[in-house]
């Protein structure tokens, strides 16, 4: 059985700033602290956290939604990719980021805490400057 999670945070930045940073190698690296290789093109492959995360960008709605296939080096070779949906909406004080991680293969680590520790908290710090 596959699992999924959903997290929401208000990030003190515009949807455009977050979207652009997520899809930029330099921006993604700066906002998370882990080396990333990204592209703002649908169909492009990406990697993050020094290659621990990899996938492909499958759908982009500029400044609103990013949909990617997603896997870590913890996935077994026979595991299918999981699906990551990042939604952005303007709110007072910045943007509401909704992160939906679906189709996580059974037996994987606690990615919820990983998202908090390695994405959401660093993003709050990065954009809060």
pLDDT, position 2: 62
Task: Determine contact, residues 85/60, Cβ cutoff 8 Å.
Answer: no
pLDDT of 78 over the 80 cut: yes
Task: Give pLDDT, residue 52.
Answer: 95
pLDDT in tens, 14-51: 999 999 999 999 999 999 999 999 999 999 999 999 99
Is the pTM value of this prediction over 0.75? Answer: yes
pLDDT, residue 87, reads 98
pLDDT at 72: 95
Asked if residue 96 has pLDDT above 90, the reply is yes
Q: Which two tokens stand for residue 80?
A: 């299918």
The CA–CA distances, whole Å, from 27 to 6, 17, 20, 47 equal: 23, 9, 7, 13
The domain in which residue 82 lies consists of: 3-127
What distance in Å separates the CA atoms of residue 7 and residue 110, rounded to the nearest whole number?
A: 13
**Model confidence at 126, in pLDDT bands (50, 70, 90)?**
very high
CA pair distance 81, 78, nearest whole angstrom = 9
Whether residue 54 has pLDDT greater than 80: yes
Q: What integer pLDDT is reported at residue 129 of this predicted model?
A: 63
CATH value at residue 103: 3.30.530.20
User: What does the pLDDT look like over 111-123, one tens digit per residue?
Assistant: 999 999 999 999 9
Overall domain count for the chain: 1
């Amino acid at each position: 059985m596959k699992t999924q999670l959903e997290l929401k945070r208000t990030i003190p930045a515009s949807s455009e700033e977050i979207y652009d940073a997520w899809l930029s190698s330099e921006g993604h690296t700066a906002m998370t602290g882990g080396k990333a290789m990204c592209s703002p093109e649908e169909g492009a492959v990406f990697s993050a956290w020094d290659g621990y995360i990899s996938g492909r960008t499958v759908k982009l709605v500029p400044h609103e939604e990013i949909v990617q296939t997603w896997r870590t080096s913890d996935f077994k070779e026979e595991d299918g990719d999981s699906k990551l949906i990042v939604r952005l909406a303007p709110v007072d004080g910045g943007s509401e980021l909704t992160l939906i991680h679906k189709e996580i293969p059974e037996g994987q680590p606690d990615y919820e805490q990983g998202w908090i520790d390695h994405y959401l908290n660093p993003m709050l710090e990065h954009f809060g400057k």
